[in-house]
Amino acid sequence: MAALKQAPVTAVELMDRAALRSVQGKPGMPAYLHELDDEVAALLVDARAADRETLDRDVRQIEQSLADMSVVMPVAFTYDPHEYQALWNIRKGLFPAVGAVRQTGTTVIIEDVAFPVPELATAVRQLQALFVKYGYHEALIFGHALEGNLHFVFTQDFSTQTEIQRYQGLMDDVCALVVDGYGGSLKAEHGTGRNMAPFVEMEWGSDAYQLMWEIKRLFDPENLLNPGVILNEDPEIHLKPLPAADEIVDKCIECGFCEMICPSWDLTLTPHQRIVSWREITRQNASDPAGERLKQLQDDFVYQGWIPVWLMVSVPPAVL
């Protein structure tokens, strides 16, 4: 990885064998994915330039950087746009692939941590060992190799205490590995949500953590701004499952990719806001079916949960 850090690359994406296996049966995937050994990992190396001559020179330099790397297949760059897109589709299909096979009632967990780049390979091995230890056989790892940024994805059932304890053990060990083992980051790329909130103090230390709370209370004394996110006094907040809401809603993996293209953006609720609202309605209906809060949520949802649809129709000329 260190050699590629100095090379003229646009991106270097790492995918472990479990990640490759999750998409190898999808349409358009290369046939050789089925033939790879269980110990194989893949690097998707992207290079771009303003002209072909510069790009050819950059590719040669990258190939030289990879010359000492042990590979199971020859290093091969492609200029074919169809092959290029097929290779990127492997990487882009990883997160949805896990969500597509999860059992109803389970949650897709995705986290992003960072390790020192020179120790990335060892860290991947240790993460994989933790998945084996706790029985997360569907878990996969991918990430942005040049930054030491790893994503890991798996599914979790929160319906039994045994499953909750299994998840707690995994997260405790993962955080200890990242912070104590490597001095890494528990949030490498995305924001600190409720899942990592109990571990913020572990990463930053008690003094810095208390200072964060002082600033929070100074600017948000009523705890109105994104309550429970980043800073949360409940050490088990990450162990509390989302309530079931609806057969369709519960299949959503909440990746957020639909948010910005939804026609309801800036008009009513976005897709994720509708899901969160309907979950709260379901929760209130179970705990306080005659409550005023439930009635208010239901009344507001009549309009706010509405999805506008534009129909393209043919209008007779005489009407215009």
Q: Are 113 and 185 in contact (CB under 8 A)?
A: yes
DSSP 66-120: TTTS--SS-------HHHHHHHHHHHHTHHHHHHHHPPTT-EEEEEEEE--GGGH
Nearest to 146 by CA among 113, 171, 120: 120
CA distance 73 to 70: 9
Phi, psi (deg, nearest 5) at residue 256: 85, 0
Rounded average pLDDT over 225-235: 91
Question: Which positions ≥6 away from 253 have C-beta within 8 Å?
Answer: 95, 96, 98, 99, 102, 108
* Sequence letter at residue 138: E
Rounded average pLDDT over 90-103: 74
DSSP 8-state secondary structure symbol assigned to residue 186: S
DSSP 8-state secondary structure symbol assigned to residue 181: I
Domains recognised in the chain with CATH numbers: 2-95 (3.30.70.2190), 104-141+148-219 (3.30.70.2740), 245-304 (no CATH)
pLDDT, tens digit, for every residue of 10-68?
Answer: 999 999 999 999 888 888 788 888 888 888 999 999 999 999 999 999 999 999 999 88
**What are the beta bridge partners of residue 288?**
none
Q: Are 175 and 182 in contact (CB under 8 A)?
A: no
CA distance 244 to 139: 23
CB hemisphere CA count around 28 (13 angstroms): 12
CA distance 247 to 260: 24
If one counts every other C-beta atom within 10 angstroms of the C-beta of residue 187, the result is 19
Strand order in 140-144's β-sheet? 42-46, 11-15, 140-144, 149-156, 107-114
Q: Where are the beta strands (DSSP E) in 119-228?
A: 140-144, 149-156
pLDDT, tens digit, for every residue of 113-147?
Answer: 999 999 999 999 999 999 999 999 989 999 999 99
DSSP 8-state secondary structure symbol assigned to residue 146: G
pLDDT, tens digit, for every residue of 285-300?
Answer: 988 999 999 999 999 9
The pLDDT value given to residue 167: 96
CA distance 97 to 166: 23
Rounded average pLDDT over 267-279: 86
**What are the beta bridge partners of residue 45?**
12
The pLDDT value given to residue 311: 42
pTM of the model: 0.82
Q: Are 93 and 140 in contact (CB under 8 A)?
A: no
Average pLDDT, the chain: 87
